Amino acid sequence: MDLDLRGIHVPLITPFSGDGATVDLDALERLAHRVADNGAAGLVALGTTAEAASLDAGERAAIVTTCRRVARERGVVLSVGVGTNDTRKAAAELAALGQVGSGAREAALVTVPYFTRPSEDGVVAHFAALAAASPVPLIVYHVPYRTSRPLSAATLRRLAALPGVAGIKHAVGVLDGDTMDLLSDPPEGFAVLAGDDVLLGPLLALGAAGGILASAHVATRAFVDVVDAWQSGDVPRARALGSGLVRLSARLFAEPNPAVVKGVLRARGEIRSAAVRLPLLAAREGAVTAAVEALGDVESQRTALAAV
């Protein structure tokens, strides 16, 4: 269970061919290497950003194989998105991760059961069952505006106490009382990772360990720098960098994720196609242009700060 989750983890997109019919594994591998080059502590495969719900079993397996190879080569953590609102099915998905091999640094990013809306006791029982059967540590994906299942700070602490649970992707959308409670006295050995891109700075200021952030696709080094600045106590630098990243993240999420992220990566020549699969639609040109401009501002700001 000694899995260091500090830093920035990038939930990788799934690059598709021009019409979206096939997965471009070569582009995925290049992207995974690039974010590792720029200081990412981890890669996330098959997250929401990967459009995992639209992938078939063969595509999912190929993506995990590709990301696992890069993660091992680069010595970064690999987290794999797993989970449904059925505990037995989620356990079966976890079992499929069993062949992780010696020395692997892997985890499973497991969503709180969605739509069913179990009680908080039911959520704890769900994760207790999964953690007991899982071959890898679990990261709880807590995103109540998608799952419709809010959790109290007391329940979050119960989840943190489960053997086999290593951390949480905390994406509640606001700095609420339960977030403040959790970070005021974080459970030992339990990494709180920001899951809302625009709230990274405030959560780091409160003691979060890092973040799992789609925006870090396009400004990986800047997000890594923000984490380093907050954790080293360089508050002025952290705030200066963070302000630009908030504006960038807002523009990257101006349309349903990952459409704008893919548009920016395509504009920068990192992927061949910005295709997404239905029910998502490709981002409007204006949204991509605005995000590219915000990214340019972030890069200019980093250059200016480096010269000080």
Asked whether the bond before 279 is cis by omega within 30 degrees of 0, the reply is yes
55 vs 208: CA distance, rounded Å: 32
141 part of the active site? yes
Report the SS3 class of residue 20.
Answer: coil
Tokens of 36: 């590792």
Catalytic position from the list 89, 114, 145, 169: 169
DSSP bridge pairs for 45: 80
Report the SS3 class of residue 160.
Answer: helix
Catalytic position from the list 114, 141, 145, 262: 141
89 part of the active site? no
CB 295 within 8 A of CB 264: yes
228 vs 222: CA distance, rounded Å: 10
Instruction: For 121-164, list the strands marked E by DSSP.
Output: 138-142
The string of DSSP letters for 49-72 reads GGTGGG--HHHHHHHHHHHHHHHH
Hey, which residues are catalytic here?
A: 141, 169
